[in-house]
């Protein structure tokens, strides 16, 4: 297991797309802390651009208690480490992810993933409404989260107890795998070429081309194509028998839509 090298590859992939990457360090806490330090060093992220969110102190990085995580809202960090061993809060997780800059790294420290859904904390207690107990709440959220972590291509998972990399995420992704934008031929578009030249990805080009249907009632209903974002065209009749058109653009959650 070479966490430093994995973190370096993850950050390189993140910087190519200006996206964030998530590194999950699952297992015993102390081993996870050591691995997190190795990851930050391997990704060549300065200490003053790194924040660790943990209930304990004694780190060389800036530390914020989980109960004070909201203080980071509106700030930007290159790396954030969230120690979720003592307690885990989905709200804290959501706040922290948004503080990581594009090209940055989010490191999540958790217990072994197979056992994590069986644990409970303050989040589960907050959902237990009498006469129901924490046991009635169960570990559904954590179970779903673990499944998402294992399925998402932008997430790398390391078992620090076994010393193995369970999933490399898209750390091996080549820059060429990102679809390049294109400009439809002049006879097939209404918008100027400059609008298409401003697109950064093929998804954006397809979405822009689909929007042209709003000005052309004769164009059929179709799909904008495959990708991380998609576009659906719909039409319906109004009281005068004319067709009203709409284009629905779908995109991953995040800043910049």
- pLDDT, tens digit, for every residue of 149-207? 999 888 999 999 999 999 998 766 654 445 667 777 777 788 888 998 888 888 888 88
What is the spatial order of strands in the sheet that 164-167 belongs to? 62-64, 50-53, 77-83, 100-110, 21-26, 155-159, 164-167
pLDDT in tens, 33-60: 999 999 999 999 999 999 999 998 888 9
Burial classification of residue 46, based on how many CB atoms lie within 10 Å of its CB (0-12 exposed, 13-18 middle, 19 or more buried): exposed
pLDDT tens by residue, 123-150: 777 777 888 877 777 778 889 999 999 9
Please determine, looking at this structure, whether the domain spanning 3-173 carries the CATH number 3.40.50.11040. yes
Q: Residue ranges per domain, the chain?
A: 3-173, 179-250
pLDDT band, very low/low/confident/very high, at 26 (cuts 50, 70, 90): very high
Report the predicted TM-score, pTM, of the whole model to 2 decimal places.
0.69
Q: What's the CA gap between 203 and 20, in Å, rounded? A: 19
């Amino acid at each position: 297991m070479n966490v430093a090298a994995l973190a370096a590859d993850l950050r390189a992939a993140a910087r190519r797309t200006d996206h964030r990457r998530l590194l999950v360090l699952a297992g015993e806490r102390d081993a996870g802390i050591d691995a997190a330090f190795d990851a930050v060093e391997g990704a060549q992220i300065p200490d003053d651009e790194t924040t660790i969110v943990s209930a304990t102190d004694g780190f060389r990085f800036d530390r914020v208690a989980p109960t004070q995580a909201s203080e980071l809202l509106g700030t930007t960090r290159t790396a954030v480490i969230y120690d979720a061993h003592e307690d885990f809060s989905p709200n804290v997780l959501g706040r922290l992810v948004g503080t990581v800059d594009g090209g940055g790294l989010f490191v999540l420290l958790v217990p072994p993933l197979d056992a994590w859904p069986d644990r409970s904390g303050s989040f589960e207690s907050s959902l237990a409404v009498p006469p129901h107990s924490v046991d009635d709440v169960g570990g559904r959220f954590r179970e779903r989260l673990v499944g998402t972590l294992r399925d998402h291509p932008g997430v790398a998972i390391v078992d620090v107890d076994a010393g193995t990399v369970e999933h490399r995420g898209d750390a091996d992704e080549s820059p060429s795998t990102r679809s390049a934008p294109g400009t439809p031929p002049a006879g097939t578009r209404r918008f100027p070429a400059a609008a298409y030249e401003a697109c950064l990805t093929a998804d954006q080009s397809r979405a822009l081309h689909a929007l042209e249907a709003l000005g052309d009632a004769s164009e059929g209903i179709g799909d904008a194509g495959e990708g991380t974002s998609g576009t659906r065209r719909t039409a319906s009749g109004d009281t005068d028998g004319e067709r009203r058109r709409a284009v629905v653009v779908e995109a991953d959650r995040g800043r910049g839509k």
